[in-house]
Amino acid sequence: MEDFVMYFQMGWQHIIAWDGYDHILFIVALCAIYMLQDWRKVLVLITAFTIGHSVTLALSVTNVISIPTKFIEFLIPVTIFVTAFSNVVRKQAMPEKIQLNYFFALFFGLIHGLGFSSYLKSMLGTQTNILAPLLAFNLGLEFGQLLVVVGILLLSAIMINVTGVKRREWNIFLSAAIFGIAVMLSIERLKDLVDN
């Protein structure tokens, strides 16, 4: 039980720690178009993201797939700017159909899972029974993501309901800021990828 708690704690702390800021940016970009009353839709999105990264995390930790870390580190900000860009070009503040967001959450979760894998592999070491640590770590990641979601939904509620900022303007501001950061990260990581 102690190990389960330890890996759960590692999971949520990995998300909310500064070294997980790229994953935080993706979650914020994914949730930027939603409000507090949309919490059910957001919960489904975050769970889709968790399913995606759980699959590749398990496959990577068990050495079924192996993709160079620098390539994954480049792809992660690409997922962020694609998601943020789709928010900016979206015609409505809140789409009636959100299948695209579910696709982003699930498919891009696969990429982000590979980003978590080297961290988890280093923690597991030579341990042979990885099912319980993997489950605990993924549940911790989900919990950390939910903390980020609650924070961004509360911030959005304050900005729109208290300060009077229009929902569409808030979406564009938040998504454009994330887009800019993600583009800079992509360029920086592309240089790292090309240099080696």
**Taking the model in full, what pTM does it have?**
0.86
Cα atoms in the 13 Å half-sphere on the side-chain side of 118: 11
Count CB atoms within 10 A of the CB of residue 53: 27
What pLDDT shows up at residue 119?
A: 73
Alpha-carbon distance of 80 to 61, in angstroms, equals 24
Alpha-carbon distance of 9 to 136, in angstroms, equals 8
Alpha-carbon distance of 54 to 56, in angstroms, equals 6
C-alpha distances out from residue 65 to 37, 58, 123, 144, 189, Å: 39, 9, 18, 26, 22
Task: Give, for all 196 residues of the chain, the pLDDT tens digit.
Answer: 778 898 899 888 888 887 778 889 999 999 999 999 988 889 888 888 888 888 888 888 888 888 888 899 899 999 999 999 998 887 765 555 556 778 888 888 888 888 877 777 777 766 667 788 888 988 998 899 899 999 999 999 999 999 999 999 999 999 999 999 999 999 999 998 888 6
Q: Are 137 and 60 in contact (CB under 8 A)?
A: no
Structure-block tokens of residue 99:
């299948």
